[in-house]
Structure 1
């Protein structure tokens, strides 16, 4: 047996998990026929599936300000509804030989095209997390003693005026590159979307059974902010938008 302190490279993740304990998560999910997305990827640029989900979710949430929101406080809770849809997505990276998860927030995605979003995604996926200025805060948390790091983290993300920029107003996380069909994550936002793999499955169209590329879209929402009916509306609109993608906006 070998018992050691938690590696410094994971301290930012532990601070994040400590901060989101107050969330009251509820889990929904639906299967999405990704035929339109697959066709678009074949005829246009090779955008990532995460890019399509970020693009679609930002537009849907901009139309649902009750869900594009955050809550703070126990005795006297307050809710902030944000005018912009800031999408957070996760990155699987290796730092100093240790595999860790990082996240990046892309602002104002309700106005961004697929190409704009893909350029931002590529910037973070191709960059070096040990030198990129966007990850300076994570690197600081990795170095600081635990109590001091926790204090700075709370000061940085708890104020509602900063939370939308620091955490995003919605989150997208993907394990679709592995044989994972569904998983449910809490991304620190009112809405977190989990993206699984796309597989060929039987579907019924116009009364006939066919084969289509299908992806399970997981949906976690914070029940403190919205109720199930609002969450179901958001998920239904996400499903419809992905299944009826007609071209780049």
Structure 2
């Protein structure tokens, strides 16, 4: 007897998803609660567990299909009762063919969402890679290593004779190795694009800059990082300082932490800080709830957990809802300066950038200091220039003198 596999509840206001990957193929044995497929929503990838133990039946939908919550996507047959799938039916989904020529079709090894995206990004054939993960499964590191060692394809030999007509000219162009590849945007990337464009069209965005001397924070981190990691089990980074300093500045300048709803301004007496972290499908922004009540250690633990689960594709949708203010650290990628885009319905976003030694004047003397540019993009409908500058100065003062963070000054 077959048991239907239904699309689970995906979260508040989420009614549909896209089939991202089949982790089990028809005929595979499955255990109860074992993931058999991954779905891509507007925010995260969600794994669909098997409701029972048995044998994977037929896929009712293919990779790339849009499915509604509650829809049947596959069946699980009782162990030993599954019949061999007909060749035509087994070949129907062929998810790799619809997504990218880099992925093998048919009975390919099941890939996790993050590994699948790495395969698409690097353009390698996972069937040729030996997995080092649990039970021989591929990891992102396996894919990256294979991509780095893959030799470049040799250029096609030039067509014989002279390219005197259109066909010959086309053949000559093909011989140069020029090629194009079309890959459908993931649902997450489509949502990111839509929201960012809506922010530009709606908000009266303006960006104000400042710079900050990172000397004191760098010295504090160097002095205490080993003790910090030993006590708290997490590395001491710079984001903990910036998030804590931002919560203090937001308390002083509440409009930066507010939002516009219709003809009303909504002020928040809490700071839910959205932090941009990298995932295989792009940047996502999980939220540190009540960051004003957390210590630097608590903030670092939360961010570290977000970063790990973003790479694994296991962030929950509820963790990315809300947020009153966003911090985006482009410095980890080497960015010197940027104008970040507001994350609606928030009214401001802080951009951090790389630290580099620059000459500055201190007490009348030119000295070299590790400096970072700060950028605050804000909705000018709500936040005045004076308030934006005041916020940045308060943040700068706290970072340049971290004792202020300790004594809430």
Please report the TM-score for the alignment, with normalisation by the length of structure 2. Answer: 0.49
2:396 to 231, 236, 239: 239
2:269 aligns with 83
- Structure number with the higher helix fraction is 1
Q: Does 1:37 align with 2:37?
A: no
Cα offset for 1:244? 1.0
Give the Cα separation in 2 of the matches to 1:197 and 1:206: 25
2:196 to 17, 22, 41: 17
Give the Cα separation in 2 of the matches to 1:28 and 1:128: 30
Unaligned runs of 5+ residues in structure 1 are 139-165
Per-residue CA distance 1:165-200 (angstroms, 9 max, x = gap): x34111100111233211111232212111110011
1:156 aligns with none
1:120 aligns with 302
Give the Cα separation in 2 of the matches to 1:13 and 1:85: 23
User: Matches of residues 46-125 of structure 1 in structure 2 within 5 Å?
Assistant: 46-73=235-262, 77-94=263-280, 99-125=281-307
Larger radius of gyration: 2
Give the Cα separation in 1 of the matches to 2:310 and 2:339: 28
Give the stretch that moved more between structures: 115-124 or 188-197.
Answer: 188-197
Cα offset for 1:18? 4.5
Give the Cα separation in 1 of the matches to 2:348 and 2:394: 14
Q: Which has the higher contact order (CA 8 A, sep 6+)?
A: 1
1:195 aligns with 352
Give the Cα separation in 1 of the matches to 2:347 and 2:404: 28
Q: How many residues align?
A: 215
Give the Cα separation in 1 of the matches to 2:375 and 2:310: 29
Give the Cα separation in 2 of the matches to 1:175 and 1:128: 17
Unaligned runs of 5+ residues in structure 2 are 1-179, 226-234
- Structure number with the higher strand fraction is 1
Root-mean-square deviation over aligned CA pairs = 2.1
Cα offset for 1:8? 2.6
Please report the TM-score for the alignment, with normalisation by the length of structure 1. Answer: 0.79
Cα offset for 1:136? 6.6
Moved over 6 A (4+): none
